[in-house]
Amino acid sequence: MKVAVLTVDGVFDSGLSVVLDVLATANVLYEGADVGQSPFTVAPVAMGRSVRTGHGLVLATTPLEDIAESPDVLLMPAIGVRTPAQVLVISRLIS
């Protein structure tokens, strides 16, 4: 299953880490199980080639326009905004 994790500058580090860690752990557990399903293919995606998290860490991303196939699932972790005005700005960027 192709999973794209949509990220933006200022994303909450904890929300991003939880999503990536859970999917990575599921892939490791998959290797030891006989479940007959494909593991997750996870790609952090954004408007550009990287984002800076809320704590200043830089995450390499795949630009949305470079994705050849639509993902099966698009996840967006907590985006790190705190006011309604900030939510509107982010929603305009990704729409």
> What DSSP assignment string belongs to 2-49?
EEEEE--TT--HHHHHHHHHHHHHHHHHHHTS----PPPEEEEEESSS
Q: What is the pLDDT of residue 50?
A: 97
CB-based contact 81:90 (threshold 8 Å): yes
For 71-85, the pLDDT digits (tens) are 999 998 987 777 888
Kindly list the structural domains of the chain, giving each domain's residue range(s) and its CATH number in brackets, ordered by start: 2-94 (3.40.50.880)
Q: Give the predicted TM-score (pTM) of the model.
A: 0.79
What mean pLDDT is predicted for residues 32-51?
85
Rounded CA separation 70/14 (Å): 26
Q: Is the dihedral of CA 1, 76, 54, 48 positive or negative?
A: positive
